[in-house]
Amino acid sequence: MRIDIITVLPELLKSPFEASILKRAIEKNLVEVHFHNLRDYSLGNYKQVDDYQFGGGAGMVLMVEPIDKCISKLKKEREYDDVIYMTPDGDTLNQGISNEVSLKKNLIILCGHYKGVDQRVRDLFITREISIGDYVLSGGELAAAVLCDSIIRLLPGVLNDETSALTDSFQDNLLAPPVYTRPSDYKGLKVPEILLSGDFPKIEKWREEQAMERTTKLRPDLLK
């Protein structure tokens, strides 16, 4: 998979890709992530990428021309499956969307800023709009990092234990069951006996029951 991220603040976005699982995925060549600073496609000497909105109102808007230049250049180099715009009015990200997007080969992710992008960017280039929740961030960068993390960890070979992503919360619309590690008794709080039994079919059944119980209690909406 290849991901091209277009942003006015690449420095805000880079560190999640420089640690842990995402770093390892990049080192293992399972994913390529490229950052494109929109200012490199700006107009004139002032490196302008945003302007006041027509009709008045607070807040700057990212201009269509630099974004057009950047996306058009990328599209000349390869075909993209999706051009995603991170925006609070997009589809709310969930595991189903992450699973779907993780199957794509080439993605462009555009991070909005200030009041967002000129509507014509959305009309012309964007194939999918994704929000990470009903709250407003200062820009799309942190949202893009969340999206990238959720899809990259699903790529084959990224997680050590291949089955691990399949047992995540939400993969079957259920929350994950509780997990324990050593010690088996901590200040009198004991690990459930069943997990120490070595009886794997029974353990599996217990985990399914726990997942169902947790979901019923905490997120009944997932069961509808």
Binding footprint of ligand ADE on the chain (CB under 6 A)? 86-88, 112, 131-133, 135-137, 140, 143
Residue 7 or residue 131: which is nearer to ligand ADE going by CB? 131
Residue 150 or residue 210: which is nearer to ligand ADE going by CB? 150
Residue 110 or residue 159: which is nearer to ligand ADE going by CB? 110
Residue 109 or residue 159: which is nearer to ligand ADE going by CB? 109
Q: Which residue is nearest to ligand ADE (CB)?
A: 143
**With 0-12 CB in 10 A as exposed, 13-18 as middle and 19+ as buried, what is 213?**
middle
Strands 50-52 and 60-62, sheet pairing: antiparallel
CA dist list (Å): 37 to 14, 104, 117, 122: 12, 23, 15, 19
Least spacing, CB of residue 192 vs ligand ADE, in Å: 38
Least spacing, CB of residue 135 vs ligand ADE, in Å: 6
How far is residue 165's CA from residue 154's CA, in Å, rounded to a whole number?
6
Least spacing, CB of residue 115 vs ligand ADE, in Å: 10
Residue 1 or residue 132: which is nearer to ligand ADE going by CB? 132
Residue 88 or residue 177: which is nearer to ligand ADE going by CB? 88
C-beta of residue 48 within 8 angstroms of C-beta of residue 62: no
| E strand or H helix at 86 | strand 82-92
CA dist list (Å): 176 to 45, 159, 188, 213: 53, 17, 24, 10
Residue with tokens 């808007």: 61
Q: How many CB atoms lie within 10 A of CB 3?
A: 22
Least spacing, CB of residue 53 vs ligand ADE, in Å: 17
Least spacing, CB of residue 8 vs ligand ADE, in Å: 13
| E strand or H helix at 148 | helix 141-152
- DSSP code for 160: S
Least spacing, CB of residue 127 vs ligand ADE, in Å: 16
